[in-house]
């Protein structure tokens, strides 16, 4: 993750007395695009392709969904058809499908007379070596008596396969609520070694349960996530925001990602 930006924000918060307000900024309406949200995980039936369309910035978030598309995923040998969920239009899945390590998957979508395709590759199954925690003084308790005196910092430690160029994403849930931060890595800095890093986006208190998921992703998905982060940080400061780098071929935005995962849980002491 972009540590520089984080530190920057922390520091900024320290020094300034910023004030926020909602203002009126007129925006143009872009041409409507198809949005592909497609994931293939390594457990049976744990896959989906969600098809929708873009909308206007100031409209409500009821985006138009795309029903009746033909959606298939092929591993080179077998082609699986993903059927639309009758209870959730625009959501396509196949219960007999899961991702395997070191495979290439091809997604094909036919809708509105257009064909959209995408390819995603899996690597070796990732391994979380351990989760551990440190008890730390809670800085904010100094200013807010309702804050607990101490918080827990949870660290994850995983090893990298030195023989492959790997890309990772870490997701974390605290008592079932997902940490909204993106922890995305390439192995340029730690090829063949362990990577230890903290989960800093959520506050973890005594007795909390923390679940961590380590995803081994491909480069296209990595680029997508990195550019998604700069998109989400859009504003007058920070890097210039842009659309995430899509791996969909055809007139659409979004991504298709096949990946393998490892999970681990840790419970904080009371």
Partner 1 sequence: MQKLVVLFVFLLGGLVLAQEKYTISGTIRDSESGEDIIGARITVKELPGTGAVTNAFGFYSLTLPEGNYTLQYRSLGFALTELKVELNQNIKKDFELAPEGKVFDAVLVKAEKEDENVTSTEMGIEKINIKDIESIPVFFGEKDVLKTIQLLPGVKSAGEGNAGFFVRGGAVDQNLVLLDNAPVYNASHLLGFFSVFNSDALKDVKLYKGTAPARFGGRLSSVMDIRMKEGNMKKFGVSGGIGLISSRLTIEGPIVKNKGSFILSGRRTYADVFLRLSNNEALKESILYFYDLNAKANYRLGDKDRIFLSGYFGRDKFGFSDQFGFDWGNATGTVRWNHIYNDKLFGNTSLIFSNYDYKIKFGTGNQTFEIGSQIQDWNFKKEFDYYLNSNNTMSFGINVIHHTFKPGEIETGDGIDFILNDIENSYALEGAAYIQNEQKIGKRFSMTYGLRYSNFAQVGPGDVFTFDPEGDVTDTTTYGNWDLIKFYHGLAPRFSAKYLLDEYSSVKAAYSRTYQFMHLLSNATASSPTDIWIPSSNNVKPQIADQWSIGYFRNFAENMFEFSIETYYKNMQNAVDYRDGAEVTLNPTVEGELLFGRARAYGAEFLVKKKKGKISGWVSYTLARSERQIDGINNGDWYAAKQDRTHDISIVTMFNLHPQFTASVAWVYYTGNAVTFPSGKYEIEGQIVNYFTERNGYRMPDYHRLDVGLTYNSKKFKTVIDAETGEEKEVPRRWESSWNLSVYNAYGRENAFSINFRENAITGETEAVQVALFKVIPAITYNFKF
Contacts to partner 1 from residues 77-136, by CB under 8 A: 134, 136
The DSSP secondary-structure symbol of 247 reads -
Among positions 58, 68, 85, 104, the unique one binding partner 1 when judged by CB under 8 A = 58
Q: Minimum distance between the CB of residue 106 and partner 1, rounded to whole angstroms?
A: 20
How many whole angstroms separate alpha carbon 89 and alpha carbon 91?
Answer: 5
Nearer to partner 1, 78 or 240 (CB): 240
Over its C-alpha atoms, the chain yields an Rg (Å, rounded) of 21
Nearest approach, Cβ of 245 to partner 1 (angstroms)? 7
Pairing between β-strand 34-40 and β-strand 252-258 as defined by DSSP bridges: parallel
Residues from 207 through 246 that contact partner 1 (CB under 8 A): 223, 226-232, 234-245
Q: Which residues pair with 83 in a beta bridge?
A: 93
Residue 15 sits in the site that holds partner 1 (CB under 8 A): yes
Q: Would you tell me how many other CB atoms lie within 10 Å of the CB of residue 264?
A: 17
Q: Quick one: which segment of 55-63, 66-74, 109-117, 262-270 binds partner 1 (CB under 8 A)?
A: 55-63
Q: Is 13 near partner 1 (CB under 8 A)?
A: no
**Contact indicator for 261, 123 with CB cutoff of 8 Å:** no
Under the criterion CB under 8 A, does residue 19 sit at the interface with partner 1?
yes
Q: Which of 119, 190, 201, 268 binds partner 1 (CB under 8 A)?
A: 190
Taking CB under 8 A as the criterion, the residue among 81, 114, 115, 194 binding partner 1 is 194
How far from the centroid of its chain's Cα atoms is residue 38's Cα? 12
- Scanning 74-82, 108-116, 117-125, 253-261 for contacts with partner 1 by CB under 8 A, the matching segment is 253-261
Is residue 140 a contact partner of residue 129, using CB atoms and an 8 Å limit?
no
**Contact residues for 231 (Cβ-Cβ < 8 A; gap 6+):** 241, 242, 243, 244
Does the protein bind partner 1 through residue 164 (CB under 8 A)? no
């Amino acid at each position: 993750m972009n540590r520089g930006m984080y530190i920057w924000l922390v520091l900024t918060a320290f020094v300034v007395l910023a004030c926020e307000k909602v203002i009126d900024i007129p925006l143009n309406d872009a041409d409507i695009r198809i949005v592909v949200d497609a994931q293939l995980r390594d457990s049976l039936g744990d896959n989906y392709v969600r098809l929708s369309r873009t909308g206007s910035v100031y409209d409500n978030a009821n985006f138009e969904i795309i029903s009746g598309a033909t959606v298939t995923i092929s591993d080179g040998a077998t082609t699986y058809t993903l059927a639309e969920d009758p209870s959730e239009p625009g959501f396509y899945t196949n219960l007999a499908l899961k991702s395997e390590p070191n495979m290439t998957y091809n997604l094909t979508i036919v809708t509105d007379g257009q064909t959209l395709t995408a390819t995603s590759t899996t690597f070796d199954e990732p391994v979380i070596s351990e989760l551990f925690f440190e008890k730390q003084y809670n800085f904010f308790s100094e200013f807010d008596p309702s804050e607990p005196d101490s918080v827990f910092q949870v660290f994850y430690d995983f090893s990298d396969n030195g023989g492959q160029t790997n890309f990772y994403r870490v997701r974390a849930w605290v008592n079932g609520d997902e940490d909204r931060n993106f922890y995305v890595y390439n192995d340029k800095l730690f090829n063949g070694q362990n990577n230890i890093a903290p989960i800093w986006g959520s506050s973890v208190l005594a007795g909390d349960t923390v679940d961590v998921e380590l995803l081994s992703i491909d480069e296209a998905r990595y680029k997508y996530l990195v550019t998604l982060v700069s998109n989400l940080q859009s504003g007058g400061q920070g890097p210039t925001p842009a659309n995430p780098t899509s791996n969909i071929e055809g007139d659409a935005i979004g991504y298709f990602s096949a990946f393998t995962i490892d999970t681990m849980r840790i419970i904080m002491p009371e």
